[in-house]
A = this chain, B = another copy of it.
Amino acid sequence: AEEAAALRAQAEAVRRLKQDKADPDEIAKEVAKLLEMKAQLAGDEGKPKFVLKTPKGTRDYGPKQMAIRERVFNAIISCFKRHGAEVIDTPVFELKETLTGKYGEDSKLIYDLKDQGGELLSLRYDLTVPFARYLAMNKITNIKRYHIAKVYRRDNPAMTRGRYREFYQCDFDIAGQFDPMIPDAECLKIVHEILSDLQLGDFVVKVNDRRILDGMFAVCGVPDSKFRTICSSVDKLDKVPWEEVRSEMVGEKGLSPEAADRIGEYVQLHGGLDLIEQLLQDPKLSQNKLAKEGLGDMKLLFEYLSLFGITGKISFDLSLARGLDYYTGVIFEAVLLQQENEHVEELVGVGSVAGGGRYDGLVGMFDPKGRKVPCVGVSIGIERIFSILEQRLEASEEKIRTTETQVLVASAQKKLLEERLKLISELWDAGIKAEMLYKKNPKLLNQLQYCEDTGIPLVAIVGEQELKDGVVKLRIVATREEVNIRRESLVEEIRTRTSQ
């Protein structure tokens, strides 16, 4: 509208100049200006106004971010492989009904696809439900697998804290009928290995059991029908104080104040084997079958964890609830305790970076005959880990390479494009990682500068004299040293000089 007004004003100015029979040069100048304004306006109107952005809650990963991502993935994948896991992949979307009834209140966060004819589809919300569908569909009763892929949640994004609508999960699960707590202990060992390996600072893994929670609710006088909703109140204890949770239980959810107070006493407890022993003696809990089972298994779990030497970072915590409906036994969640690196100015929200538990009923929900396959697994939430490492890297002086190029093929004189192409082709065919500038006659200085900028350690320089002598001049970027290498030895020389 502003531009249209300016255009009208300019047209009026031209009209007046003509009326006034002004200097033809001046008229011509103002007419030209008018035409330019018209063209620009038409251009603006003709071109649809794009909003240049990624969808809300999503991001691109540039080369630097990808380099960090690869480091983290490599650490996680080697751990999963160290534990003998196979790998699978499933489609990014599932039939809508596959996801229905698995996530409780969180179901509203599922992305649906538009009905364009055919099946109704939804984007996967996690990797656990597709895994269970895969097991039931292929009648697999025994597998240890990992799966690294993106999942989708229409949640409120908090991108600086690493909370996205599209994010990676790295899942490791053990499915099969086994002796109690051996696979469960391995899942906790894996969390411990990965978080130690990534050097994210101090952490603690909180552990609880759905059966202990349910037993606790029962002995506190929570009616059966309120177990799930009271459980989701308890789940908030890591974010809000007990008083608030208590008033939600009593006020919104209609629990008796006495029951709430009894819960309040339990959920502040956390510890190790000693606490488990104490609760096994608890006059109320020890009378409850579910709680007793859960506590017995928890004791066994801690015995195995102490053989693994990792109980120092594990805390049996009665306030840990976890939201998802499908858990049936042990549940756990790893939390970073603090930001160890002082260089990071803006504190990345300290929080959960891994979680998991036992879900013995989920596969049975897909099996036509309801056959169960007991499962336990862990999911590493790497977006938060990325955020921390990304900010740490930005704060540090470290320059991260985004390519692995070993050598730049360069020339010192003009008219050597063909020779560069021939040499680089030889190098590629020998498996050497090589680049060249896409110019016919690049300046040597620009070629050397490119190496400085991208961290390429070697330059192979062809020149008239070198061609005659059957050699290539190899320059070591860091030291500026230059040596003539016989052409037939060049590949070997580059390999030697770039092997760590």
Contact A438 B174 (CB under 8 A): yes
Residues of B within 8 A of A55 (CB): 91, 93-95, 119, 121
A452 to chain B, nearest CB (A): 15
Is A83 positioned at the interface, with any CB of B under 8 Å from its CB? yes
A436-472 vs B: 1/0 string, CB under 8 Å? 0011100000000000000000000000000000000
Cα distance A309–B136 in the bound complex, in angstroms: 52
Is A114 positioned at the interface, with any CB of B under 8 Å from its CB? yes
Residues of B within 8 A of A90 (CB): 54, 60-61
Is A347 positioned at the interface, with any CB of B under 8 Å from its CB? no
Residues of B within 8 A of A48 (CB): 97
Residues of B within 8 A of A92 (CB): 92, 150, 152, 166
Residues of B within 8 A of A193 (CB): 428-429
Cα distance A422–B189 in the bound complex, in angstroms: 12
Is A249 positioned at the interface, with any CB of B under 8 Å from its CB? no
Cα distance A435–B87 in the bound complex, in angstroms: 16
Residues of B within 8 A of A118 (CB): 56
Q: How large is the interface on A (under 10, 10 to 19, 20 to 34, 35 or more residues)?
A: 35 or more
Q: List 10 extra interface pairs beyond A52-B366, A81-B403, CB under 8 A.
A: A50-B368, A52-B136, A54-B137, A56-B118, A60-B90, A62-B138, A92-B152, A182-B417, A182-B438, A307-B421
Interface residues of A (CB under 8 A from B): 43, 47-48, 50-56, 58-63, 66, 69-70, 81-95, 97-98, 111-116, 118-119, 121, 123, 133-134, 136-138, 143, 145, 150, 152, 154, 166, 174, 176, 178-179, 182-183, 185, 189, 193, 304, 307-309, 366, 368, 370, 402-405, 417-418, 421-422, 425, 428-429, 431-435, 438-440
Q: List 30 A-B contacts (CB under 8 A).
A: A50-B97, A51-B97, A52-B136, A54-B91, A54-B94, A54-B95, A55-B91, A56-B118, A58-B93, A60-B91, A60-B134, A61-B88, A63-B145, A82-B432, A84-B403, A84-B434, A92-B92, A93-B166, A113-B123, A174-B438, A176-B438, A179-B438, A179-B440, A182-B417, A185-B421, A193-B429, A307-B418, A307-B422, A308-B421, A308-B425
